[in-house]
Structure 1
C-alpha cells in the first residue's frame, strides 16, 4: 500500500491568509480512498509529553529512602536488578507510579470532556462538585460502616456517579447550557462540602484521621489493588471517549450546529458525561480527590498545541477536546508533582494533593483573571 502525503501549506499569496492551524495539518491519502489528517505540532507535543511522563515515572521510582539512579531503575525494570532492587521497584514503587499515571490520565481526559461539553474552561470535575461527591461517599463508608479499602473505594465511586447524575438532571432544561451546568455544579459542590463537614463531626478521632488523610489525595502506599481496577476502567472508557472525539469537537460549536452536522447531541452528551463521571470516580477512589489536575491539564495541553488561531491573533486556545494530549498532560502533571513533593519535602512527607492544590489554585486565579480580561466572566 502506498500513500501520498499532502501538506496544508500552499504557495502564492493566498496561502498567507490560511490560519497557522490549517497550514500545520498534513493529509495522508491511501489508494483505497482512506485519508488521515495529522496535526504535526500536536503529534510532536504528544510524543514529548509521553517521553516526559515516562521519564518522570522513572525518576519517581528512583526516589525515596533507598535512592536509585535512572540506569538502575531501567535495569531493574528489564529484569537485571538484584533481589533487593527487584522488590523495591516492583512491589513498592512501580504500583505507585502506575496509579499516578492512570489517575492523571483519567483526570486529564475527564476534565477535557467536561470543559468541552460545558464550553467553559471552569467546567472541571473538582470545581463542579464531583470530587466532593466522591468524598461524601467515601466518608459515609468510613464513618457509618467502618469499611476497609475496598468499601471506601466503592463508596467513592457511588458518591461520584450519584453526584454526576444529580447535577446532570438539575442542569437539564431542553439541553445542557454551559453556564447553567457550571453554576449547578458549583452549588452542588458547596452543599456536598457542607455534608463532608457534617460527616467529619460524626466521626471519632480514628475515623476522622483516616478520612482527612484520604481527602488530601495521595499516592502513598498504592499497590496492585488500586492499579488493576483502575486499569480496567481506563481500558474500557478511554477508547469510548476517544471514539467520540469528533462529535465532541462539533459540540463546541453549539447544539444547533452539531445537530446540523449529523451529531446526535443528547446521546453523545449523556454518553461522554457518564463515561467521564465514572473515570473521575474511579480515579478518586484510587488516589483520593487530587485537586486541579482535571482543570489544568486540558488547558495547558491546548495552549501547547496552538496558542493562536492566526499569526498575531488574539491568543485563543486551540478548539477541540484534545483528549489524548489532555490525558498525557494529566499524567505528566501528577507524576511530576509527586516526584517534586518527595524531592522538596522528603519521601512520603507531603501528599501530592497538597502540592497540586497550591499550584492549581494559582492557575485558577490566573485563569479567572484572563477570562475577566477577555470579558467572558
Structure 2
C-alpha cells in the first residue's frame, strides 16, 4: 500500500515536471518568434537573412540603421522589461499570497513614475537622471509601504491597503505635476507615463540587462522558500524559513528589476499583474513559476507592442494595449475577492 502511494506521488510529480518543462519551452519558442518578428517588421519589412547579417556586423543600406538603431533597442527593452515585470509581479503575488499584491496595484511603479515626472516637469533633467530617479523612487516607495505595514507584526492585508493608499497619493502628486508643467514638457512626461518602447536606446537598457541577469538566479535560488512563504507565516517558520530575511531579499530583488524596467520603458500597465496568474494557469502548482511568469511578461510586452504598432490605423504605445487587456481582469478579480471576503 505504501509503495503504491509513493509511486502515485512520484508519477504525479513527474507529470507536473514534464508539464512545467513543456510549457516553459513553448513560451521560450514564442518569445524567440516575437523577437524575430520585432526585428523584421516596421515601415520596411526585412527578411530574416538581412536581420542576421546586420546583427553579425554586415552593413546593408537602410537595414543597418533601422535594425541597429531602432528595432534592436526596442526589442531588447521589451524583452528584459517584460521579463522583469512578469517575474517581479509573480514574486509579490506569491510571497504575499494575494493576486492584488503586485507592483501596479500597491504603488511601486507609481513611486517610480512620480519621481520620473518630478524630474521631467520641475528639474528638466536628462533621461539618465530620470531613470535613476525612477529606480530610487520605486525603492523608497516599497520601503515606506513595508515599514508602515509591519506594525507589531507583518500583515498582508495591511500592506495591500497601505500600498493602495500610497498609490492614490502618488497619482495625485503626478496629476498636480502635470497640471503645473510647461507645455513643452508634457508630451515627454505623458509618453513616459503611458509605458512605451518608443525611443528606446540600447545604452539605457544596460542597467536593466545586468540587473535581470544577476537577480534572476537569486530569485530561483529562493524559489523553495517562496513556496513555503505561500503556506503562511507560521507554517514557513516551522519549516525552518527565516521569513523576514527571505521576504526582504525577495522584495528588494523584485523591486530592483521592476524599478529598472519602469525606468527603461515607463510603467507598462498590468504586465506584472497578469503574468503570474497566466503562468499558474498554464503550468499549475508544484514548481516555481518564476521563469514562465517572466516569459509571459515578455510575450505580453512584445505582443502588445506589435499589436499597438500594426493592428490599428493609429499607433498606440504598448501600455495602452496591456491596459486594455488587464483592466477587465482587474475588475473581475475585485468582484471575486469581494464575494469571498478575502480583503
Report the TM-score, using the length of structure 2 for normalisation. Answer: 0.93
Contact between 1:63 and 1:343, CA under 8 Å: does it hold in 2?
A: no
Q: Equivalences for 1:103-114 in 2 at 5 Å?
A: 103-114=81-92
Contact between 1:294 and 1:330, CA under 8 Å: does it hold in 2?
A: yes
Query: Residue 215 of structure 1: SS of its match in structure 2?
Result: helix
Q: Which has the larger radius of gyration?
A: 1
Deviation of 1:69 after TM superposition, in Å, equals 3.6
Deviation of 1:91 after TM superposition, in Å, equals 2.3
Q: Distance in 2 between matches of 1:227 and 1:346?
A: 29
Paired residues, what number? 342
Higher RCO, 1 vs 2 (CA within 8 Å, ≥6 residues apart): 2
Deviation of 1:350 after TM superposition, in Å, equals 0.8
Q: Equivalences for 1:142-161 in 2 at 5 Å?
A: 142-161=120-139
Q: Distance in 1 between matches of 2:214 and 2:82?
A: 16
Task: Find 1:86's aligned residue among 64, 74, 99.
Answer: 64
Aligned to 1:189: 167
Confirm or deny that 1:275 pairs with 2:258.
Answer: no
Q: Distance in 2 between matches of 1:304 and 1:92?
A: 33
Q: Distance in 1 between matches of 2:136 and 2:322?
A: 25
Stretch moving more, 169-178 or 245-254: 169-178
Aligned to 1:338: 305
Query: Residue 128 of structure 1: SS of its match in structure 2?
Result: coil
Q: Distance in 2 between matches of 1:82 and 1:211?
A: 35
Q: Which runs of 5+ in 1 are unaligned?
A: 1-9, 28-37, 307-317
Deviations 1:149-185 (A, max 9, x none): 1011111111111101000101113443221111111
Contact between 1:118 and 1:177, CA under 8 Å: does it hold in 2?
A: no
Contact between 2:76 and 2:202, CA under 8 Å: does it hold in 1?
A: no
Task: Find 2:98's aligned residue among 103, 120, 130.
Answer: 120
Contact between 2:34 and 2:299, CA under 8 Å: does it hold in 1?
A: yes
Deviation of 1:95 after TM superposition, in Å, equals 1.2
Change (3 A) 1:50 1:247: same
Deviation of 1:274 after TM superposition, in Å, equals 1.1
Q: Equivalences for 1:159-308 in 2 at 5 Å?
A: 159-306=137-284
Contact between 2:128 and 2:204, CA under 8 Å: does it hold in 1?
A: no
Task: Find 2:13's aligned residue among 25, 40, 49.
Answer: 25
Deviations 1:27-66 (A, max 9, x none): 9xxxxxxxxxx81101110011011011011111112111
Report the TM-score, using the length of structure 1 for normalisation. Answer: 0.85
Q: Distance in 1 between matches of 2:59 and 2:3?
A: 56
Q: Which runs of 4+ in 1 moved over 6 A?
A: none
Change (3 A) 1:15 1:370: farther
Identify, as 1 or 2, the structure richer in helix: 2
Deviations 1:237-267 (A, max 9, x none): 2221111111111100111111111111100
Q: Which runs of 5+ in 2 are unaligned?
A: none
Contact between 1:108 and 1:328, CA under 8 Å: does it hold in 2?
A: yes
Aligned to 1:313: none
Q: Distance in 2 between matches of 1:176 and 1:320?
A: 26
